Chain A
């Protein structure tokens, strides 16, 4: 049995099911990260002293990572745009690029974390590091999740392109929306944790 409006848009709402679903999911994600940011504010305003981010964290590395993640958002859009133009080959290239850039982000983060641990800085050291590791850790999980979805569409999931290209394009667009959200979270995390 087929579910209506999986691919085609419903006329009176102007949307297909997946588009509504992904936006609802992102709304709940906003609430998740929103709660963590609110906790950050509450704990910081209640603290006697709070270190400036750049005295503990590595700003150049994070700046590099910001550029990496923004570039990955660009390649993500290009991947989707390639599908819109029916160029599956370029899609693969851009999607591969997106996954690779996500991977670079995680590797940089791995070195950042490793360096902190090496210096004896752990989540338990103080509440600045606690919120730093919690927020960036959760964000990394999101990056990893997005990479898994993108890898699926790059690999086995792309079989759908042959049978139902429009559906596949929609799916890539939705995973792109998630990827941009993950990027956006980092855009908030970077100044909050590293610069303020």
Chain B
């Protein structure tokens, strides 16, 4: 709406604030509307949840490697209801499994990748003073915390946390204990949080980009966040609808997901019936497949930035990468039922979804190939961010390619719900996405703090993590192809056919525990560098994108002078230029 004749005058107290930006502790660090503070809040909370989710997994790995063996010390702390005499109860194992998935996906990786990096980096990279809706941004973080607290509190309710897997398949989830209700309420908070974030990201990208920054001059990271925001905006509401219906089933006694004649423990359920358990799966995967791309796209964006910067070359095929990204985002909405080949769907449906699944692998391969070709002929700087970014390529490659047999109906049938699936998607998310996120932390840390993280500690962290990740997940491919099912409380020990591969469980578990040790240098480095890291200027990596024109750390409002984009994002080693990089923000 435009109204001619009205003059916009900033409110006097706003102008006042702009001069005096000395806010109190609470307004500055806790209830801040500054995108950088919110980004850091998101990132740190996300990292804590990643650590917590990882700890749950380390407990599970004990039970898988040594089924039924008493866990000294820790068993006593966790109490009789969970680990009597140090031996894990099956219910507790299920709690750990469900909450590991939920926490890692919804409270660890996404908040760090989108909430953390998106909030901190995106406005800086497009030359914006802040997000378009700063208060909504703050609310987004607060809903996230609320959701996180609800999920954590669910461990303490009678019967423990949700036990029906992170997928919460019905009718199992409808019949589960109180923890499941907490899970649903927690999810509704998290969905609200990401909805508010997504609206903010899209509006900010469209409206607040700097003068001269057309869409094809966006750094690839901005594109990745932009597409991700659309996925969050449009894919999460159907899960919210499903969550509401599951809540109704649990609380109001409806039968959305309960079929007629359901018998539980030998007793017929007294419900109206007539519901459809597969309806939940459809609605869940309608979110959860785009969610896979929500997990991976921001990491691809980070890796693209770091590769361009450290090869000192423009990205190879930037335009193809952008088109692939947009196509990928669109396609991700019509592949969901490849998670459901085992539900007895007809061949026509299966053929459709396996075709779309094969098609969606093409843009992923285009992006990955473009990133690999970008390395060709570059004089590569092997610093810690670059090492993580380089490791992302083969690790994500393994994860992606091992997904193809799962996308084809015929090969999915023997592999479905085995450890092969676990190995496949963990290769995508753990050494894939999480390495991308580590790369991003090392890369933008100087922008956030004004100091660089220690390189030696970073390299120890990198080598240890890379080796351990493969030690953890490679054996799972072998176990999966031998036919060992996932989600088994004893890791397959009670199955005769699993005996020849069971020892891999021990290898995998030790890989996980040793990897925990290799995170200690990172945690130490993260805090130590805040005070003791090497001091750096505005552009320590000699990068070209706009965020590096702001001081490190950027002040409230970000830029000293209003930035302007004069060229594309990756003008490295341009012939005839005085330096090997020509920043986007320099008029020259």
Contact = CB atoms under 8 A, between A and B. Distances in A.
Interface in A136-177: 138, 163-167, 169-170, 173
Interface in B150-179: none
Contacts of B256: 39, 43, 127, 130-131, 134
A187 interface: no
A3 B195 CA distance: 21
A21 B238 contact: no
B1 A173 contact: yes
Contacts of A24: 198-199, 202-203, 233
Interface string A105-147: 0000000000000000011111100110110001000000000
A39 B545 CA distance: 46
Contacts of B14: 1-2
B560 to A, nearest CB: 13
B588 interface: no
Interface string B6-47: 101111001001100100000000000000000000000000
A43 B275 contact: yes
B279 A127 contact: no
Interface string B103-140: 00000000000000000000000000111111010000
Interface stretch (B244-252, B378-386, B513-521): B244-252
B237 interface: yes
A171 to B, nearest CB: 10
A64 interface: no
* A contacts with B: majority SS: helix
A4 B272 contact: no
B2 A35 contact: no
Given A43-B276, A134-B245, A169-B3, A35 B8 contact: no
Given A35-B237, A130-B254, A4 B1 contact: no
B233 A28 contact: yes
A20 interface: yes
A1 B202 CA distance: 21
A104 interface: no
Given A20-B202, A127-B274, A4 B133 contact: no
Nearest to A25: B199
Interface string B71-111: 00000000000000000000000000000000000000000
Contacts of A43: 256, 274-276, 279
A84 to B, nearest CB: 7
Contacts of A87: none
A76 to B, nearest CB: 14
A13 interface: yes
A133 to B, nearest CB: 7
A34 B238 contact: yes
Given A24-B199, A27-B234, A3 B244 contact: no
Tier of interface size on chain B: 35 or more
A145 to B, nearest CB: 12
B401 interface: no
A1 B274 contact: no
Nearest to B233: A28
Interface in A9-65: 9-10, 13, 15-17, 19-21, 24-25, 27-29, 31-36, 39, 42-43, 46-48
Contacts of B202: 20, 24
A154 to B, nearest CB: 19
A28 B234 contact: yes
A182 interface: no
Interface string B390-407: 000000000000000000
25 contacts: A2-B14, A3-B132, A4-B207, A5-B132, A20-B203, A21-B133, A21-B136, A24-B199, A28-B195, A28-B237, A31-B234, A35-B238, A35-B242, A35-B283, A36-B241, A39-B283, A42-B279, A43-B256, A43-B275, A43-B276, A46-B274, A123-B253, A123-B254, A138-B244, A169-B3
The 9 closest A-B CB pairs, nearest first, are: A124-B253, A35-B238, A130-B254, A35-B241, A32-B237, A31-B237, A17-B132, A1-B557, A123-B252
Given A1-B14, A163-B11, 14 more contacts: A1-B129, A3-B129, A16-B1, A20-B202, A21-B133, A24-B198, A25-B195, A27-B234, A29-B237, A36-B241, A43-B274, A127-B256, A130-B255, A133-B248
